[in-house]
Amino acid sequence: MTTRPKKAGVIGWPIGHTLSPLIHRYWAEKEGADAVYLPLSVEPGRQSLARAIASVRAMGFAGVNVTLPHKEDALRAADAASDSARAVGAANMLTFVSGQMRADNSDATGFAAAIAPMLANRPEVRAFVLGGGGAARAVAFALRELLSSASRRVRLAVSNRTAERAAAIASAFGGEAIAWADRAKVLGGADLLVNATSLGMRGMPALEIDIDSLPQTALVADIVYAPLATPLLRAARDRGLRTLDGLGMLMHQAAPAYQSWLGARAPVDALLRSRLEAALAERAQ
């Protein structure tokens, strides 16, 4: 009897840049899973998303990842949602089971998994997050809900070019909103700086911020992974600061989807990272 491969994919617009198929293919090959993971180009809009979801469900997909610009609409379309998806206000996973569609958000757990080892043994973390969209909300949720504990207190500040967005995130996660014009002035008291904007991404303007006042013990993270060495991370490394690029979050956020839909084991290891780095280098040529 011939068995059909398990199927999943990623929905977005544009979608040509995605590294998700490479990640899922790596894990499937590593454990010998019979699985297919496809990039699906879906134009912006709720109706376009609804048609795409209906199509993949009809084709027997176990689920789809969701990227820009569909994450908020994906949450609205779901029959049920996880606590993290509701808190972040966006979904990057849609799972199809028993006639239901469940929304989840693994961006938050992905960021937490990537950064947690670098925050070990810190009883207090003063975190400053730049951004106002779904990624910034995911980072704020990870810091306040997933990385805060009895042994670690996280103090959160948020800044965005649109002040109302920063204020909304700060209010939702118990932080302080900082005016965009004052973003460099508060760095002297920060243990962690996170760029959760698209600034610094290939084809976008660089993030303009003077990090000279950051303490020498500070950690600088950027969720952008193309390029891996963003202007922010280069400036931090020039100062000898520890840095975290966007590949860690990307790899870790993919693991729950693979384990839910396609296979059992999703190791985030050096070989996977090297393959992603090679793919990024080839695209940059």
Q: Which residues are catalytic?
A: 71
Residues paired with residue 243 on neighbouring β-strands, in sequence order: 220
Side-chain half-sphere CA neighbours of 274 within 13 A = 3
d(CA 187, CA 169): 19
> Which residue type is seen at 121?
N
Contact between residue 102 and residue 133 where contact means Cβ atoms under 8 Å apart: no
Q: Which two tokens stand for residue 281?
A: 């280098």
Count other Cβ atoms within 10 Å, centred on residue 192.
Answer: 25
Contact between residue 132 and residue 162 where contact means Cβ atoms under 8 Å apart: yes
Which of 253, 282, 283 is CA-nearest to residue 67? Answer: 253
Q: Which residues of 169-180 are buried (b: 16+ CB within 10 A; e: fewer)?
A: bbebbebebbee
Contact between residue 114 and residue 248 where contact means Cβ atoms under 8 Å apart: yes
What 3-state DSSP class applies to 183? coil
CA-derived radius of gyration, the chain: 19
Run of H or E including 171: helix 163-172
Q: 270-284 and 20-31 are packed helices; what angle lies between their axes, rounded to 10 degrees?
A: 140
Q: Which two tokens stand for residue 220?
A: 């600088």
Q: Which residues of 36-65 are buried (b: 16+ CB within 10 A; e: fewer)?
A: bbbbbebeeeeebbeebbeebbeeebbbbb
